[in-house]
Structure 1
Amino acid sequence: MKQRIVLPLLFSVLAACSGSGNRAEKETAVTTDTVLTTLADPDTIKTDAVTSATSKPNEVLFNGTMIVPPDCQATVTVLMGGTVKNSSLLSGTVVRKGQVLVILENPAFIDLQQSYLDSRAQLEYLEAEYRRQQTLAKEQAASQKKLQQSKADYLSMKSKEQAAAAQLQLLGIDPIRIEESGIRPYLEVKSPIDGYVGNVRINPGKHIAAGEPVCDVINKERTLLRLVAYEKDLAYIQKGAVVEFTVNGIGNQVFRGTLISVGQQVDEISRSLEIYARVDTVEEIFRPGMYVTARILH
């Protein structure tokens, strides 16, 4: 009789222990599944509907592009048209300020130089004649009419000489050099700044009209970030703050910059504004137009 009582009791204890262990395993599994679901759930990561930027709690990311300020980008144009005689420009070529980019042929350029030299020569004669008439008028040996006529001729020629000289200076030609070395047959178009050539629009034999662009020259020494921010992010934005950013196509390498400007007008539709940061160290691989993702350190 004692053995019959002990065996059922032993089976009951073992069953209770097994049930308790299963409940513990189920509770652990549920807890683990909940954590994994929370980390993987895309609803827990906020995504910007306009820029597709993502942000973690207490961190705001800003998307944008690399640019250069206006004074570091020049569009090279010609004030006098002509036919391209010689040019070996390629996009990406390094040029210096004052370096010849293209040589143009135009008979009107020769005529302008001749007009200046003729005006200069006649001006010397008319000035001497005017001085002589002034002396004669003081001695009452000449009429006032001759004096006035000589003065008018002198001033008229002086204005022509000054106009021709001003046009030559606009074309980058020193009038004094023409007097010393003579008429130049070709017009040289020079680079206005140091930088890299881009958007080349010419080739030998092509006619370039006055005001038509030849190429662009870009100086990357002062590369900036133009980032898109939103009014809800203004609390995280402060001029002078340190900016860390990554560049699309350069992996996960982190670069630094400094926030230098915050836009003062919010777009009525997107509720966005532009902010600008100066890149602390400009890398050779950087190019204007590259996409970047940045965050502001606090």
Structure 2
Amino acid sequence: MKKIFIPLIVLAVAGCKDAKNNSVAEAVTSADTVVVVEQIEETEEADAYSSATSKPNEVLFNGTLVVPPEYQATVTMVMGGTVKSSKLLSGMAVKKGQLLVTLENPDFIDLQQNYLDSHAQLEYLEAEYNRQLALSKEQAASQKKLQQAKAEYLSMKSREQATAAQLQLLGVQPSVLLTGGIRPYLEVLSPIDGYVGNVRINAGKHIAAGEALCDVINKDRTMLRLVAYEKDLSNIHNGDTVEFTVNGIGAQVFRATLVSVGQQVDEASRSLEIYARVDAQEELFRPGMYVTARILHQEKK
């Protein structure tokens, strides 16, 4: 209002006679003085208001949502093969033991055959060893034949056990082969409940031994992984409450509890990682989402 008032006075001065210029100029000068004083007073009032309503600077921590190692799995196989079929899509929910991928590999068929052969020979060698043992007690057989029968039996037993262990690594129970026979395809099952991610396969693709097929992530135990700096360590303690917001979920505030503080500071950034367990899980949470958090320090008793 004052900036509009001054030009009006100046226009009035321009229209007046020379005789009145001095008096009007004095009026303008006086008005200018009043304006300046009032503006300074208003600025001081604004500064005082800002100072009264401002809050002390809070330390904010940036980080991401993560899941603990035991709630995520990378699906790999100790034996490779060619993908026969798969209906996997990223984001698909799966249960532990659910079929994920079917692979073809002639070596898998040979392994099953070796187990069945070993099992059959083991039955015969075990019977022969027991027979020689009985004859030896009656002194009707030589110790040499008994020792030979025992060596052959134990050798075949270890071979059967080794083959059975390889089948179990592939998710095949040897006892099932004895009743159901040889399986033509190698079935890859989900190791945990969760959601499929990072699908790296398609029909006809050859998968080498140890190569990742996909990931399975269980979001039931989502956590925060935050970056802290050494200067803030004195104010960070296990058990502290953490409030955080998540990119993409608006201004909603979530809570977590601090459970782990890193014990090694990075030499370059002078930072370390801290972890907090989320109190209430949210369906929209996704591992890797950015978060901004602040720590509510507990009062010492």
The two structures have a TM-score, normalised by structure 2, of: 0.83
Query: Which residue is 1:168 aligned to?
Result: 167
Q: Does 1:185 align with 2:176?
A: no
Question: Is 2:39 the counterpart of 1:29?
Answer: yes
2:149 — aligned with what?
150
Deviates more, 1:28-37 or 1:76-85: 28-37
Q: How does 1:195-206 map to 2 (within 5 A)?
A: 195-206=194-205
Change (3 A) 1:275 1:205: same
> What's 1:64 paired with?
63
SS in structure 1 of the partner of residue 267 of structure 2 = coil
Instruction: Give SS of 1:142's match.
Output: coil
Q: Tell me which residue corresponds to 2:294.
A: 295
Structure 1 residue 35: Cα displacement: 6.6
Distance in 1 between residues matched to 2:105 and 2:220, nearest whole Å:
36
Tell me which amino acid in the other structure corresponds to 1:270. S
| Number of positions where the alignment pairs a residue of Structure 1 with one of Structure 2 | 269
- Taking the aligned partners of 2:288 and 2:65, their CA distance within structure 1 comes to 5
Query: In structure 2, what is the equivalent of residue 134 of structure 1?
Result: 133
Report what 1:101 is aligned to.
100
Aligned-residue offset at 1:135: 1.1
Query: 2-side partners of 1:103 and 1:56: how far apart?
Result: 60
Q: CA deviation at 1:195?
A: 0.6
Distance 1:225 1:28, change over 3 A: farther
* Cα separation, partners in 2 of 1:72 and 1:107, compared to 1, 3 Å: same
Which digits, 9 at most, give the CA deviation of each residue in 1:61-83, with x for residues without a partner?
11111111111111000111111
The match for 1:48 is none
Question: Aligned pair in 2 of structure 1 residues 217, 34: CA closer, same or farther (>3 Å)?
Answer: farther
Aligned to 1:283, the other structure's residue is in SS state coil
| Separation in 1, partners of 2:191, 2:151 | 39
Q: 2:281 & 2:47 partners in 1: Cα distance?
A: 42
Give 1:57 deviation, angstroms: 2.2
Shift of 1:285: 1.0
Q: In the aligned structure 2, how far is the partner of 1:179 from the partner of 1:217? A: 32
What is the deviation of 1:138? 1.4
Superposition TM-score, scaled by structure 1 size: 0.84
Structure 1 residue 56: deviation in Å? Answer: 6.0
Amino acid at match of 1:168: L
State the Cα deviation string for residues 158-206 of structure 1 (Å, max 9, x = none): 1111111111111111111110111111110011111110000000111
State the 1:142 CA deviation.
1.1
Closer/same/farther in 2, CA of residues 286 and 35 from structure 1, 3 Å limit: farther
Equivalent AA in structure 2 for residue 173 of structure 1:
V
Percent identity of paired positions between Structure 1 and Structure 2: 72
Query: Structure 1: 5+ residue runs without aligned partners?
Result: 1-11, 41-54
Q: Secondary structure at the match of 2:292?
A: strand
Task: Flag the 1:64–1:189 CA change in 2: closer, same or farther, 3 A.
Answer: same
Match of 2:123 in 1: 124
Which residue of 1 is the match for residue 89 of structure 2? 90
Change (3 A) 1:111 1:234: same
* Aligned-CA RMSD value: 2.4
Aligned to 1:263: 262
In 1: Cα distance, 2:34 partner to 2:221 partner: 63
Instruction: Please state how far the C-alpha of 1:241 moved relative to its aligned partner.
Output: 1.0
